[in-house]
């Protein structure tokens, strides 16, 4: 019980930091957490969003590419939840004031067409997915200076704060070896390849199904899986237009207002 109270306190701090766009000190500076505790805090913290009426819209994987692991100095795959208030339409405005120090990164998204009730693999994923798209993820660590340990960032719902999905394509299109780019005001600021994501972004989808099943986390029809960034993330500023593209899948963009 004592532990639970403590988790709740931290979960509330993280939730309020996100809600008010005000950073907090890293948890690991004052308290040691293990991975299990970090995910428990994440779950309580996101529960507070659900209580306010936000709905779960999917899950995101993080650190599925070497580029991201190296940028952030961590070494393991992580996962967090996406909610309805994190979703922005392509071409719309992203209000910078809702974020602390947002960064953008180019991703691949999958749309679920049938509630996931088994491990996905090459053999069965087409029964569960009806769309693949290029996406922008907006990450915004709730920790000062965007600095964290693996456990910190997990407790913080893996920095999830926004996502924008491009036009859905049929899931049969090959998504290996796609050139991916991130542009700020039409200048390429990051270039990568979809293979940077676990060798093939589909591996991220399979991992998402495994993590969801292992953790009793539903992945339901209409929800989205973000596979993780193919390149390091970049800080974004008011006035900028941010665009991500993936060969064959097209483009997606947002204006920072
Ligand atoms: C954590 C989130 C990582 C990704 O795509 O690798 C992530 C962070 O970098 O703040 O979303
Ligand atoms: Mg990401």
> Each residue of 161-170: pLDDT tens digit?
999 999 999 9
DSSP string, 226-252: E---SS--EE--TT-EEEEEETTTEEE
- Backbone region of residue 234 per phi and psi (left: phi > 0; alpha: psi in -120 to 50; beta: other values): beta
Counting the structural domains of the chain, the total is 1
Indicate the length of the chain as a whole number.
257
How much distance in Å is there from the Cα of 163 to the middle of ligand 2?
Answer: 9
- Backbone region of residue 66 per phi and psi (left: phi > 0; alpha: psi in -120 to 50; beta: other values): alpha
Check pLDDT > 60 for residue 1. no
Q: pLDDT tens across 199-215, in order?
A: 999 999 999 999 999 99
CA dihedral 212, 65, 180, 202 (to 10 degrees): -40
- For residue 221, the model assigns a pLDDT of 98
Ligand 1 binding residues, C-beta < 6 A: 60, 62-63, 68, 72, 105, 137, 139, 141, 153, 158-159, 228-229
Mean pLDDT over 6-11 rounds to 95
Range of the domain at 61: 2-256
Query: Distance between CA atoms of 38 and 45, rounded to whole angstroms?
Result: 11
Residue nearest to atom 10 of ligand 1 (CA): 159
Check pLDDT > 90 for residue 136. yes
Query: Distance between CA atoms of 34 and 236, rounded to whole angstroms?
Result: 32
Closest CA relative to residue 101, chosen from 236, 255, 253: 236
Query: Distance between CA atoms of 180 and 247, rounded to whole angstroms?
Result: 6
Ligand nearest the Cα of residue 141 is 1
Atom of ligand 1 nearest to the CA of 148: 10
Look at the block and give the residue holding tokens 């890293």: 26
CATH of the domain at 192: 3.90.850.10
Q: What pTM, to 2 d.p., does this model score?
A: 0.97
**Least-confidence region, from 24-28, 48-52, 171-175, 219-223:** 171-175
Write phi, then psi, for 215 (nearest 5 degrees). -105, 10
């Amino acid at each position: 019980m004592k532990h639970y109270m403590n988790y709740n306190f931290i979960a509330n701090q993280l939730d309020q930091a996100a809600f008010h766009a005000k950073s907090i000190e890293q948890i690991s500076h004052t308290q040691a957490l293990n991975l299990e505790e970090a995910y428990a805090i994440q779950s309580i913290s996101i529960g507070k969003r659900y209580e306010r009426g936000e709905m779960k819209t999917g899950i995101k994987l993080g650190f599925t590419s070497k580029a991201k692991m190296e940028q952030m100095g961590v070494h393991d795959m992580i996962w967090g939840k996406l909610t309805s208030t994190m979703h922005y339409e392509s071409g719309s405005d992203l209000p910078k004031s809702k974020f602390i120090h947002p960064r953008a990164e180019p991703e691949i998204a999958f749309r679920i067409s049938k509630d996931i009730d088994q491990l996905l693999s090459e053999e069965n994923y087409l029964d569960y997915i009806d769309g693949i798209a290029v996406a922008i993820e907006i990450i915004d660590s709730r920790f000062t200076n965007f600095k964290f340990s693996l456990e910190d960032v997990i407790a913080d719902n893996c920095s999830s704060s926004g996502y924008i999905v491009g036009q859905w394509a049929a899931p049969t299109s090959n998504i290996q070896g796609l050139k991916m780019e991130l542009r700020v005001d039409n200048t390429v600021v990051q270039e990568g390849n979809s293979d940077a994501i676990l060798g093939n972004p589909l591996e991220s989808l399979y991992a998402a199904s495994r993590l969801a099943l292992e953790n009793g986390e539903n992945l339901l029809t209409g929800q989205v899986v973000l596979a993780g960034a193919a390149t390091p993330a970049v800080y974004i500023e008011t006035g900028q237009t941010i665009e991500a593209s993936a060969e064959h899948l097209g483009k997606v963009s947002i204006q920072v207002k």
